[in-house]
């Protein structure tokens, strides 16, 4: 079978699952630039982005026999790459937080009780924030946050249009942003979730 732009995603996926290296190379060459461009807009570090894309394709090849893709290959790869970027940024934040805590500890001003109180304060603030979100918006928001469903999957689950899901998410996000503006890292995580 000749590999060209007329091939459907399912045909490429079938060849990929069968261990066809040419199909894998074709997919890599076809998708690399758009993946890089999309990722670089979110994380402007060329070397890191290239490394994350490399990891993505290595994992795709390793898991090729068990992988199930219900969207387009482009959508699947872009979503997977967004999660990789999120995890990378999160790991940097964790390292920075750890360094800050080490400095605080070394200066003898570190207080574990304050850490626990902050966690409790954030949970309470988030719970109160959820009460401000209208019922339909909250249902959509929690399906996205807790279940990790895509907008299309939420639309299918609730039997509403994708644009309605987007409207509910926008409304929810505005409320969350308003009520949790003092919790910057949490807001970053929610912001990222919104744009996935």
The pLDDT tens digits of the residues spanning 162-179 come to 889 989 988 888 887 777
CA quadruple 156, 61, 44, 71: dihedral, nearest 10? -20
Instruction: Identify the pLDDT of residue 184.
Output: 47
Give residue 56's domain range.
Answer: 9-84
Instruction: Identify the pLDDT of residue 147.
Output: 75
Note whether 78 and 148 are same-domain residues: no
Q: How many domains does the chain have?
A: 2
Whether 97 is in a domain gets the answer: no
In this structure, what CATH number is given to the domain that contains residue 180?
Answer: 1.10.10.10
Rg of the chain, C-alpha, whole Å: 21
Note whether 77 and 128 are same-domain residues: no
Split at pLDDT 50, 70, 90, the class of 86 is confident
The pLDDT tens digits of the residues spanning 11-53 come to 888 898 899 999 899 999 999 999 999 898 888 889 989 999 9
Q: What is the pTM of this model?
A: 0.50
Nearest to 82 by CA among 127, 121, 60, 52: 52
Question: How many CB atoms neighbour CB 1 within 10 A?
Answer: 11
Sign of the C-alpha dihedral computed for residues 52, 53, 58 and 60 taken in this order: positive
Note whether 146 and 183 are same-domain residues: yes
Question: How many CB atoms neighbour CB 25 within 10 A?
Answer: 12
What mean pLDDT comes out for the span 73-88?
Answer: 88
Note whether 68 and 115 are same-domain residues: no
Three-state DSSP at 8 gives coil
Q: What is the largest CA-CA distance in the chain?
A: 68
């Amino acid at each position: 079978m000749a590999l060209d732009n007329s091939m459907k995603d399912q045909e490429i996926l079938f060849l990929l699952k069968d261990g066809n290296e040419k199909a894998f190379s074709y997919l890599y060459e076809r998708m690399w630039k758009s993946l890089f461009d999309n990722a670089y807009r979110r994380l402007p570090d060329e070397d890191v982005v290239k490394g994350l894309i490399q990891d993505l394709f290595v994992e795709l090849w390793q898991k090729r026999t068990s992988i199930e893709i219900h969207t387009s290959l482009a959508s699947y790869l872009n979503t997977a790459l967004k999660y990789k970027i999120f995890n990378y940024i999160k790991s940097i934040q964790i390292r920075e937080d750890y360094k800050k805590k080490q400095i605080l500890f070394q200066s003898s001003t570190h207080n574990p009780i304050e850490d626990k109180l902050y966690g409790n304060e954030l949970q309470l603030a988030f719970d109160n924030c959820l009460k401000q979100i209208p019922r339909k918006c909250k249902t959509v928001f929690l399906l996205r946050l807790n279940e990790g469903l895509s907008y299309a999957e939420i639309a299918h689950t609730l039997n509403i249009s994708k644009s309605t899901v987007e409207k509910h998410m926008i409304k929810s996000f505005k409320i969350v942003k308003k009520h949790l503006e003092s919790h910057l890292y949490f807001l970053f995580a929610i912001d990222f979730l919104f744009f996935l």
